[in-house]
Amino acid sequence: MNHLEQQRAEEMSATGKPATKVESKGKEPPDNPIDFAPLIQENADIYAWLYIPGADINTPLLQSTTDDLFYLDHDKDGKYDPYGTAFSQMANARDFSDPVTVIYGHVNGGVFHNLHNFEDADFFNESGEFYIYTPGHILTYKIVSAYQYDDRHILNSFNFADPAVRQDYFNSVCNPDALLKNVRDGVTLDADSKIVQLSTCMLDSSQGNSRYIVSGVLTSDQETK
């Protein structure tokens, strides 16, 4: 763990709420680990970067402005690739300000294959957070749970503008109704929490109606240069 990660870990809330806005009082803000300028010049759909320590997931995040499924079968350069890349859809803001942000990626041969490492309880317990870098920010997420879920479109299935619906959904994230699951002890979510859900297919192709979801709650927002 580098010094930035150590600092963020110390600043994280024990419960996962609320997110802490980290300002460099009297100090110059740290450098952003990602130089976004050349990436955005290459492809303006690149808007963030996901890093999951220990899982070998270190990848740009993309969002098409015209086709929600474009990056299901295109790479970060916009070229056809059956394995696609990690992406969100237009229903989600690019600044991760929504109560629920869903990021998709393929499993076999795809960027999210190693999400299934979280099926192992020891790996889950040892891997407590992931990071999302955006221009000017480092966002830290405490991993709440990892579990099998059905294949419904989450953002289309729940009215997250309704605090009651949002809270019910957050309760299900903390206590998923699934046989295949790992859950972080001592983490609670309230209606003001902001979560990111990393969604991929199951390893077993016969479970095509299921998804595997790793959920994290925003605990720190570090401003950068």
Q: Where are the domains of the chain?
A: 3-223
pLDDT at 6 over 80: no
Q: How confident is the model at residue 24 (pLDDT cuts 50, 70, 90)?
A: low
What's the CA gap between 144 and 217, in Å, rounded?
7
Q: Which of 2.30.40.10, 2.60.40.10, 2.40.260.10, 3.30.70.20 is the CATH number of 3-223?
A: 2.40.260.10
Residues 6+ apart with CB under 8 A from 9: 1, 128, 129, 140
What's the CA gap between 199 and 115, in Å, rounded?
9
pLDDT at 115 over 80: yes
CA-CA-CA-CA torsion for 217, 190, 106, 131, nearest 10 degrees? -10
Mean pLDDT of the chain: 92
Mean pLDDT of the 144-157 span:
98
